[in-house]
Amino acid sequence: MSGIHDLRHTCASLLAAAGATPEAVQIHLGHSSITVTIDRYTHLLPSDVEALIGRLEDIRARNLAAQPPPSERSQGTDIGGR
């Protein structure tokens, strides 16, 4: 890389580090398709995997905390008014 390509790569790196989506990077850099962006800059995105896993774990923990204890959960539907 040299010159303008170094600057574009730095820009893409900073955008990715700031949490920009690949689509936002595509638009900012003026790529004709998302494929161009992903093919060129996919190596910038792997660190996002750990953050996504953390978010999924947070969602799961919140959902578990919101559930009633097993003793308060319904034991099934009452059929026939019994």
Q: What is the pLDDT of residues 42-81, one digit of tens each?
A: 777 656 677 888 899 999 999 999 888 777 666 665 566 5
pLDDT band at 21 (very low <50, low <70, confident <90, very high): confident
The model's pTM is 0.52
Reference 24, options 37, 6, 39; nearest CA is 37
**To the nearest whole number, what is the mean pLDDT of the chain?**
82
pLDDT of residue 46: 54
Of 77 and 13, more confident:
13
* No. of helices (H) and no. of strands (E), the chain: 4, 0
Encoded amino acid at 53, one letter: I
How far the first Cα of the chain sits from its last, in Å, is 76
